[in-house]
């Protein structure tokens, strides 16, 4: 299979993204490597083909945002908003990720080997996120669908105002957000979790995780609450 390389120290990011958007044929499965990313923003955003893009170094904001079909591997850390609004495909960050990782992702799989910052998986809409390390505060805020697996710990307000997304966590939770609750793991949870961990290449025992989901008490307006004005 043909291999392509872009050196961002020598050529522009726009040239690379333009190539990935315009010059690939439908179903293109080529392998593209990116060297000297040097924290540039918007690396490999908006991909629409099943290519594999390997980024060798640290990526800036919004890396692999809006990804569709592609596999993007970042051999380094990722800045704010990695894989935000992903539709499908896989994004794998080998280092840590900053705030808002996987925000609003509709589909696909985001794997972060290290820690994720605050607001990981905020407003998740159907994508899956597996974090090898810990996540910052307000992760899973208003997550509507999809699954988050956290192998480390979580900060404050985990799963605040959750809809139907489910969170599996192995470590400690500093605090749960409003309407989030621990629930018993079912056989279906263990099966789903084992599959996600396997896809992410992490070999933790599913039995060591706890499930967090919505208590659904915010789904309907409670006219009797706090009536004393």
Partner 1 sequence: MCGIVGLLVKTPALKERLGELMVPMLIGMTERGPDSAGLAVFADPLAEGSRKLSLYSGLTDEGADFNWHGLTHALKDHLDVEAIIDVKNNHAVLSFAVAPDMIKRWLREHHPKLHILSTGRTIDLYKDVGTPAEVAERYDFKSMKGSHLVGHTRMATESAVTPDRAHPFTAGEDFCLVHNGSLSNPNDIRRKLQPHGIHFDTDNDTEAACRFLEWRLREGDELEAALQRGFDEMDGFYTFLMGTPDKLALIRDPFACKPAVVAETDDYVAIASEFRSLAHLPGVKHAHVFEPAPEEMYVWNA
Say how far apart CA 140 and CA 87 lie, in whole Å: 17
In the complex, least distance from residue 95 CB atom to partner 1, rounded to whole angstroms: 7
Q: Is position 121 an interface residue for partner 1 (rule: CB under 8 A)?
A: no
Structure tokens at 187: 């056989």
Between 135 and 200, name the residue whose CB sits nearer to partner 1.
135
Q: Which of residues 86-115 bind partner 1 (CB under 8 A)?
A: 95-96, 98-99
Q: What 3-state class would DSSP assign to 81? A: coil
Degrees, nearest 5: CA angle 78-50-88 = 60
152 binds partner 1, rule: CB under 8 A: no
**Is the Cβ of residue 100 or residue 206 nearer to partner 1 in the bound state?**
100
**183: contact with partner 1 by CB under 8 A:** no
Q: Which residues contact 73 (CB under 8 A, 6 or more apart)?
A: 52, 53, 54, 55, 91, 92, 94
Q: Which stretch binds partner 1 (CB under 8 A): 19-27, 39-47, 146-154, 221-229?
A: 39-47
Counting Cα atoms < 13 Å in the Cβ hemisphere of 215 gives: 10
Q: Considering the rule CB under 8 A, would residue 140 count as an interface residue with partner 1?
A: no
Checking 163-166 for CB contacts under 8 A at 24+ apart, the result is 163/214, 164/213, 164/214, 165/121, 165/124, 165/140, 165/213, 166/211, 166/212, 166/213
Binding segment (CB under 8 A) for partner 1, from list 46-54, 62-70, 86-94, 130-138: 130-138
Selected range binding partner 1 among 16-24, 33-41, 103-111, 210-218, rule: CB under 8 A: 33-41
Closest CA to 148 of 96, 205, 202, 211: 211
**Is 139 a binder of partner 1 (CB under 8 A)?**
no
Q: Which CB atom, from 38 or from 179, has the smaller least distance to partner 1?
A: 38
Q: In this chain, which of 20, 32, 40, 44 binds partner 1, going by CB under 8 A?
A: 40
Cβ atoms 215, 181 nearer than 8 A? yes
Write down the least CB distance from residue 157 to partner 1, Å: 11
**Alpha helices (H) in 126-212, listed in sequence order:** 187-200
Q: Which residues bind partner 1 (CB under 8 A)?
A: 36, 38-41, 57-58, 60-61, 76-77, 79-80, 95-96, 98-99, 117-118, 136-138
């Amino acid at each position: 299979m043909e291999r392509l390389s872009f050196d961002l120290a020598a050529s522009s990011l726009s040239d690379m993204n333009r190539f990935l958007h315009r010059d690939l044929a439908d179903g293109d499965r080529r392998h593209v490597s990116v060297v000297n990313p040097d924290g540039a923003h918007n690396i490999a955003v908006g991909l629409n083909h099943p290519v594999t893009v390997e980024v060798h170094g640290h990526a800036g904001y919004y890396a692999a945002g809006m990804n569709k079909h592609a596999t993007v591997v970042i051999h380094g850390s990722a800045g704010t908003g990695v894989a935000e609004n992903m539709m499908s495909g896989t994004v794998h960050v080998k280092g840590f990720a900053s705030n808002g990782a996987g925000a609003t992702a509709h589909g696909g799989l985001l794997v972060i080997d290290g820690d994720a910052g605050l607001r990981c998986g905020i407003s998740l809409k159907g994508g899956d996120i597996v974090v090898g390390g810990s996540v910052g505060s307000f992760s899973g805020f208003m997550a509507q669908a999809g699954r988050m697996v956290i192998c480390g710990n979580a900060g404050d307000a985990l799963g605040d105002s959750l809809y139907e997304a489910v969170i599996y966590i192995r470590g400690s939770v500093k605090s749960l957000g409003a309407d989030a609750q621990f629930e018993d793991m079912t056989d279906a949870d263990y099966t789903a979790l084992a599959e996600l961990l396997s896809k992410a290449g992490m070999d933790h025992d599913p039995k060591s995780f706890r499930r967090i989901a919505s208590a659904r008490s915010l789904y309907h307006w409670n006219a009797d609450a706090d009536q004393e004005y």
